[in-house]
A and B are shown apart, each in its own frame.
Chain A
Amino acid sequence: MSTIRLEHLNVSHPQGYQLRQVVQDVSLTVEAGECFGLVGPSGCGKSSLLWVMAGLNPHWSGDMVLAGTHVQPGSSFTGQLRRDVQMVFQDPYASLHPRHRLRRTLAEPLKRLGFDNIDDRIAQGFEQVGLASTLIDRYPHQLSGGQRQRVAIVRALLLEPKIVLLDEPTSALDMSVQAEILNLLNQLKAQQQLTMVLVSHDPDVIDHMCDRSVTMQAGRITSLS
């Protein structure tokens, strides 16, 4: 059974008081342990599609199955589903709360969900992504862009998800830092058998990272590879 199955998905965005359709009739499947790519120019709807899979956009219709759960349009993700799907956002400067220390940012969801050994898990996570444990008690503005993105990756993985969504994870980073992050993602994917969906406007990144990919334009899939 595919880890992700989308059938005839339509996605809309609220614009003022109206809804604008940004994705039309998209169907795709992603198998377990695969890295699946969504590539296309800005405005093609790839990020909107990803946010629907993340449970951040309730304005969609169609059929969606994520990690065995049949998702209803308009409902928010709760319980196991919420933990199974996690996302790494594009802008490392904007996805970590500026006034929370990293430890608090990482520990809060773990506490809410009743995980044990929280400090150990955080320390382990930092080690996995190659960050010094001294950084755990720092604020985001004290880290570089590459370091922040590593923290974002730790945050996504701490809840032990089955699906990791990545929304242009390296677009805001330098070439050299991008190489480090891409290496890290490949390493984690191999170690933990993650299923990943990667959105990027850069076909080179998709070519390097993904087992399969689709190209999108104006809300539709135009080619598969």
Chain B
Amino acid sequence: MTETSLPLRAVRRDKRRWLLIIGYSLLGLLIAMALFAPWVSPYDPNAQVMADRLLPPDSHHWFGTDGFGRDLLSRVIYGTRPTLLLVVFILILTVPVGMTVGIAAGYLGGWVERILMRITDIFLALPSLVIALAMVAVLGPSILNGALALALTSWPPFARQARAETQQLRRSDYLAAAKMQGIQGLPLMFGHLLPLCLPSAVVRAALSLGGIILSAAGLGFLGMGVQPPTAEWGSMVAEGGKVIFDQWWVAAAPGGAILLASLTFNFIGDGLRDRLDSRHDS
């Protein structure tokens, strides 16, 4: 008995699986760090020890210390909290709003669709960081305001995708069958259309989170996120920028964390998207 070898596509399939495994593991790590920060951090993130300022990484301070003598490792660990909180807020704000707008537009058609899509286009055209800055300047810097600001410009892609999918599904037999059974309106939109639009929305959410984390860090970098002394990666990078040539670790530690978090969601999004595609193939 002999076996054929199926090299190329099997390798791609394994890579897909590894992406998800790595992504989920990193996500688990981030969540654990956020939840157990008080127990995991070696020092109080806000404890200033002026005698120990700007120490390089060593056995006492694995990531070194910043300009106020605060332990960078602890600050990075505590910094997962505002980041993940922001991610959750944004998800709660963008995905439901976007999908509702998209499904309503695709299902109801006519004037409703045109109006909703024009509104979507307007928000799509807004530059996200500029609007975020403007909003935060008006409302005051905080996690919630930052999330609101970023969410305002993140929901349109979900709406467009949901609408396109809904339009395709409108021609399908199972929607015609539902109509025959007298099911229409809200029960049809949320009970029948929504479950079908959800998988691709999940993938899009995971993929866009990578970019959102960078935008959030950008807000923090510009001083528009959480206010000091709270540990937040973006503002930590800003502080570290002042001393970057001599004490590179002050910016590198939070910068690395931003990179890691962004990659985590990119891996998860990629892995999920490949998984979804393969299910469509079979």
Binding site for B on A (CB under 8 A): 51, 54-56, 78, 82-83, 85-87, 89-91, 94-100, 108-109, 112-113, 152, 155, 159
- Which 3 A/B pairs are nearest by Cβ-Cβ distance? A109-B181, A95-B173, A94-B173
Q: Which secondary structure dominates chain B's binding surface? A: helix
Do A86 and B172 have beta carbons less than 8 Å apart?
A: no
27 residue pairs of the A-B complex, CB under 8 angstroms, read: A55-B180, A56-B176, A56-B180, A78-B182, A82-B180, A83-B182, A86-B180, A87-B180, A89-B173, A89-B176, A89-B177, A91-B173, A94-B173, A95-B173, A95-B174, A95-B177, A96-B177, A97-B174, A97-B195, A97-B196, A98-B196, A99-B196, A100-B195, A108-B187, A108-B191, A155-B177, A159-B181
Beyond A108-B183, A108-B191, A112-B187, 13 additional pairs, beta carbon < 8 A: A51-B176, A55-B180, A56-B176, A56-B179, A86-B181, A89-B173, A95-B173, A96-B174, A97-B195, A109-B181, A109-B183, A112-B182, A152-B177
Q: Which residues of chain B from 160 to 192 have a CB within 8 Å of any chain A CB?
A: 172-174, 176-183, 187, 191-192
* Cβ contacts under 8 Å, A85 to chain B: 180
Binding site for A on B (CB under 8 A): 172-174, 176-183, 187, 191-192, 195-196
Do A97 and B192 have beta carbons less than 8 Å apart?
A: yes
- CA of A113 to CA of B183, assembled, Å: 10
* Cβ contacts under 8 Å, A90 to chain B: 173
Instruction: Say how far B281's CB is from chain A's closest CB, in angstroms.
Output: 14
Do A87 and B183 have beta carbons less than 8 Å apart?
A: no
* Cβ contacts under 8 Å, B174 to chain A: 94-98
Do B173 and A54 have beta carbons less than 8 Å apart?
A: no
**Contact (A94, B179) CB under 8 Å given A99-B195, A99-B196:** no
Instruction: Say how far B208's CB is from chain A's closest CB, in angstroms.
Output: 24
* Cβ contacts under 8 Å, B183 to chain A: 108-109, 112
* Cβ contacts under 8 Å, B196 to chain A: 97-99
* Cβ contacts under 8 Å, A83 to chain B: 182
Do A109 and B173 have beta carbons less than 8 Å apart?
A: no
- CA of A99 to CA of B193, assembled, Å: 10
Closest to A91 in B: B173
* Cβ contacts under 8 Å, B176 to chain A: 51, 56, 89, 95
Interface centre among B176, B178, B180, B195 (most CB of A within 10 A): B180
Instruction: Say how far B174's CB is from chain A's closest CB, in angstroms.
Output: 5
Closest to B174 in A: A97
Instruction: Say how far A59's CB is from chain B's closest CB, in angstroms.
Output: 15
Interface centre among A85, A109, A152, A159 (most CB of B within 10 A): A109
Closest to A97 in B: B174
- CA of A100 to CA of B178, assembled, Å: 12
Interface centre among A83, A95, A100, A112 (most CB of B within 10 A): A95
* Cβ contacts under 8 Å, A87 to chain B: 177, 180
Closest to A92 in B: B173
Contact of A113 among B180, B182, B191 (CB under 8 A): B182
Closest to A140 in B: B174
**Contact (A97, B181) CB under 8 Å given A89-B173, A90-B173, A91-B173:** no
- CA of A94 to CA of B177, assembled, Å: 10
* Cβ contacts under 8 Å, B195 to chain A: 97, 99-100
* Cβ contacts under 8 Å, B192 to chain A: 97, 100
Contact of A97 among B178, B180, B182 (CB under 8 A): B178
- CA of A108 to CA of B183, assembled, Å: 8
Instruction: Say how far A166's CB is from chain B's closest CB, in angstroms.
Output: 13
- CA of A109 to CA of B172, assembled, Å: 19
Instruction: Say how far A97's CB is from chain B's closest CB, in angstroms.
Output: 5
Closest to A78 in B: B182
* Cβ contacts under 8 Å, B173 to chain A: 89-91, 94-95
- CA of A109 to CA of B178, assembled, Å: 8
* Cβ contacts under 8 Å, A99 to chain B: 195-196
Do B181 and A155 have beta carbons less than 8 Å apart?
A: yes
Instruction: Say how far A93's CB is from chain B's closest CB, in angstroms.
Output: 9
